[in-house]
Copies of this chain bind each other. A is one copy, B any other.
Amino acid sequence: MAEKKPKTTRAARKTSERMDIRTIATAANVSIATVSRTINRVPTVNPKIAKRVWEVIDRLDYFPNTQARALVSGRSRIFGLIVSEITNPFFPELIQGFEDIAVEHGYEILVSSTNYDPQRMTHCIRRMLERKVEGVAIMTFGIEEPLLEQLASRNVPLVFIDVGPERPGISILKVDYQHGIRQGVQHLAALGHRRISFISGPKRLHSAQSRAAAFSAALQECGIAVDASTIIEGDHTMEGGIAATEKLLAAKNRPTAVMCSNDMTAIGVLHKLYRAGLRVPDDLSVIGFDDIHIAQVTIPPLTTIQMSRFDIARAAVTALRNHVAHSSDSHPQREYNIETSLIVRESTGFPHGAMTDLRKTRPKPAIKR
């Protein structure tokens, strides 16, 4: 057996470098209560004493133990953030915003990525509950019902995107897919496209359905017949985009434009078209969704529908903080709106063969609400 290091005894630690509120109290010659009050900026403490305490704190470079604080105050000052796929660039951009805003308000965040796996999701939720998070933002664009129960029953404040149960303590970020998607479809229609496909996300996700529905509605508005076969199921990944494009190219009546449920899918599409020797937008126009950062540098740069990560992040943190602040009975605001809008770049153009000579003049997207 290895030489057993004598376990540091309390006494020994005390004399050496134990750093707690007591140390500060002794050094500043006040009670621990006063130190605590000073740190928490309770206004009744005498400014002179406060100054003395702060000096000691600075000198000894002390900071309070968050665990102990959380234990007694019942407030962990942690928010959970659950995303579906951290490797999809949309989410890191969201996480960044969420972190910045949360930290600004003194919160720490616990991020988890579920990879669309319900099992992981369960585990995730459990871990967050154990850490006593004060709220969870579930940014997965869809969640299974039973899991939701698990969370809701603990009555932790929650924020969802798109859809969630009607219950106190739960907020929804309503994304206005309609607006952006309509702009996109109108943009394509104005260019002369009539055969437009849509590559959706996984059908079981509510958000995927919403986007597909918005697409169909927009088509109809433009007087284009809706054909269910033009909607292909993808999975929000590049690989899904590639697979969907293969199906698209195999169809007997190829579309002249394709709209994707997210940018990663569109990137897959772009790649597959390049592989197939087809040119974008000459042979096929492509529209993405999200406007992730790299959409600016794809080849060609991607026309896409923007949904602001920062807006989502801010709304999510705001919603959670509101729930924490107000008691659980009064719910201040249940829904928050998130806008979407078309960003025209270079992956969209006139359909093949149409008005070739006019190709240089790109019409502005028809914006109508």
Contacts and interface: CB of A to CB of B under 8 A. Distances in A.
Interface stretch (A25-33, A40-48, A129-137, A176-184): A129-137
Contact of A113 (B96, B110, B294): B96
Given A93-B87, A96-B87, A267-B294, A130 B299 contact: no
A320 to B, nearest CB: 18
Interface string A277-307: 0000000000000000110111111000000
A86 B95 contact: yes
Interface string A55-71: 00000000111111011
A92 B87 contact: yes
* Interface SS majority for chain A: helix
Contacts of A270: 297, 299
A91 interface: yes
Contacts of A327: 5
A85 to B, nearest CB: 9
Give the number of times this chain occurs in the complex, counting copies: 2
B108 A110 contact: yes
A127 interface: yes
A341 interface: no
Nearest to A76: B67
A224 interface: no
B129 A63 contact: yes
Output the residue of A63, A127, A270, A299 with the most chain B CB within 10 A.
A299
A99 B132 CA distance: 19
A271 B293 contact: no
A126 interface: yes
Contacts of A68: 67, 71
A16 to B, nearest CB: 13
Nearest to A328: B5
Contacts of A152: none
A294 to B, nearest CB: 7
Contacts of A65: 71, 130, 132
Contacts of A208: none
A194 to B, nearest CB: 28
Contacts of A366: none
Nearest to A155: B17
Contacts of A297: 238, 242, 267-268, 270-271
11 contacts: A63-B126, A66-B130, A67-B68, A67-B70, A67-B71, A86-B95, A87-B96, A91-B92, A271-B299, A294-B294, A299-B299
Interface of A: 5, 63-68, 70-71, 76, 86-87, 89, 91-93, 95-96, 99, 103, 108, 110-113, 123, 126-127, 129-132, 238, 242, 267-268, 270-271, 274, 293-294, 296-301, 327, 329
